[in-house]
Amino acid sequence: MKKLTLLFISFVCILTLNSCQKKNENQNNEISASEIKVDSITFKIETPKKVSKEGDTLFASFKVKFPKFIGGDASIIGKINGQIEQMVKDQVYSLEDSVQTQKVGTIEEIAQSFIKEYKTYNEENADIPLGVGWEYEGSGDTLLISSKVISIYYSVYSFLGGAHGNFYTTYMNFNAQTGDLLKLTDIVSDTTALKKIAELKFEKTQKAFAKDNDFEYNKEDYFWGSPFFLPKNIAITKSGLSFLYNPYEAAAYAIGAIYFELTWQELGTLVKKEIR
């Protein structure tokens, strides 16, 4: 009897110890998350303003501002910062780019290349009254910092001549414990089920948008004749998942960016426990 009592006491002690260890681990994770702070990197350059024969003020402007994390585990935070900076560089398009390419060099070198291309273009087209300059502006910030996930957005507006400028937003979700960029399959357990509830929410929000802007919602006006598909940009936020289609991805430019959200409650058990 005494042996059974001792065994029982030992078992209770082990359970209590494991519980305390898990509690301490969770507290350490929360502390680690709270130690992560947000700074930013800013770079700006522009050419001297020049007035054309037609009286237009011409110049090129390049500005970027994006989040930089400090604190926490240096190797993990460094890994996240490196991926963000590379994304920022890759967003800078050249007239020679038919598709997005991976850029090398520093932000300053890429900015100088942008300015140089503008000057070369003007010299080669000196006989054409351009009437406009070039503009590139990128700006980003955090969406969520937790012990499990760090997410950001980065928005770009660029104008290199033409009928209108272009704008584009990128979402990035990181595993806060490893620094790895999360894929959709890391976030939800069933992408097919996610697609079904996302399509319903998409139609609901677009019908409301059409009504608010005095035009009739027509399903055929979206996705260029293809079936519904999830956007490339899905962000983890405090309240759920944010879905974003950039201009031309799901509809004509005039529609603009399309945004909707699914709350944690709407997502239910689809979300993996590693995320929340």
Give the tens place of pLDDT for each residue, 215-273. Answer: 999 999 999 989 999 999 999 999 999 999 999 999 999 999 999 999 999 999 999 99
Q: Which of 15-29, 98-112, 160-174 has the highest mean pLDDT?
A: 160-174
How many residues does this entry show for the chain? 276
In a domain, 264, yes or no: yes
Residue 23 in domain = no
Q: What angle in degrees, to the nearest 10, is found between the helix axes of 74-90 and 107-124?
A: 10
**In terms of domains, do 138 and 60 share one?**
yes
118 within some domain: yes
Q: Domain span at residue 235?
A: 185-270
In a domain, 88, yes or no: yes
245 bridge partner residues:
258
From 111, 159, 109, 116, select the one nearest 135 (Cα to Cα): 159
Last residue of a domain, one of 146, 167, 182: 182
Q: Does one domain contain both 264 and 153?
A: no
CA atoms within 13 A on the CB side of 201: 20
Tally: H helices and E strands in the chain: 6, 10
Q: Could you tell me if 152 and 244 lie in one domain?
A: no
CATH number for 106: 3.30.565.40
Last-in-domain residue among 143, 163, 182 = 182
Residues 151 and 230 placed together within one structural domain of the fold: no
Q: Please tell me the predicted confidence (pLDDT) of residue 63.
A: 97
Q: 176 with 193, same domain? A: no
Residues 165 and 260 in one domain: no
154 and 200 in one domain? Answer: no
Domain co-membership, 212 together with 199: yes
Domain count of the fold of the chain: 2
Pull the structure tokens for residue 240.
Answer: 């759920």
Query: Of residues 97 and 222, which shows the higher confidence score?
Result: 222
Assess if residue 276 is contained within a domain. no
Going from the C-alpha of 262 to that of each of 138, 145, 191, the distances in angstroms are 27, 19, 14
pLDDT of residue 129: 64
Q: Is the pLDDT of residue 46 over 80?
A: yes
In this structure, the dihedral spanned by the alpha carbons of residues 77, 111, 254 and 219, taken in order and rounded to 10 degrees, is -40
The answer to whether position 5 is within a domain reads no
The one-letter amino acid at 64: V
Lowest-confidence segment of 42-51, 98-107, 177-186, 191-200 by average pLDDT: 98-107
Mean pLDDT of 40-65: 89
Indicate the residue among 123, 157, 182 that finishes a domain. 182
- Asked if 208 and 141 sit in the same domain, the reply is no
Residues 241, 112 share a domain: no
Q: Which two tokens stand for residue 86?
A: 């590379």
Same domain, 262 and 247: yes
- The string of DSSP letters for 143-198 reads EEE-SSEEEEEEEEEEE-SSSS-EEEEEEEEEETTT-PBPPHHHHBS-HHHHHHHH
pLDDT at residue 1 tops 70: no
Q: Residue 93: pLDDT band by 50, 70, 90 thresholds?
A: confident
Token pair for 261: 């959200």
Q: Are 118 and 125 in contact (CB under 8 A)?
A: no
Return d(Cα 222, Cα 268) in angstroms, integer: 27
Question: Residue 247 domain-assigned?
Answer: yes
Q: Give residue 28's pLDDT band: very low, low, confident or very high (50, 70, 90).
A: very low
d(CA 84, CA 153): 10
Which amino acid is residue 5, in one-letter code? T
Both 65 and 147 in one domain: the answer is yes
Nearest Cα residue to 33 out of 191, 172, 226, 175:
175
Whether residue 40 lies inside any domain: the answer is: yes
- pLDDT confidence of residue 122: 81
Whole-number Å distance between alpha carbons of 206 and 11: 58
Token pair listed for 201: 């929410």
Let me know: does 54 contact 131? Beta carbons within 8 Å.
yes
Q: What is the C-alpha to C-alpha distance for residues 270 and 157, in angstroms, rounded to an integer?
A: 34
Please report the pLDDT score of residue 95 as a whole number.
Answer: 65
Which residues make Cβ contacts (< 8 Å) with residue 228, sequence separation at least 6? Answer: 195, 198, 199, 202, 222
Q: What pLDDT is stored for residue 131 in this prediction?
A: 64
- pLDDT band with cut points at 50, 70 and 90 for residue 18: very low
183-231 pLDDT, tens digit per residue, is 999 999 999 999 999 999 999 999 999 999 999 999 999 999 899 999 9
CATH assignment at residue 216: 3.90.640.20
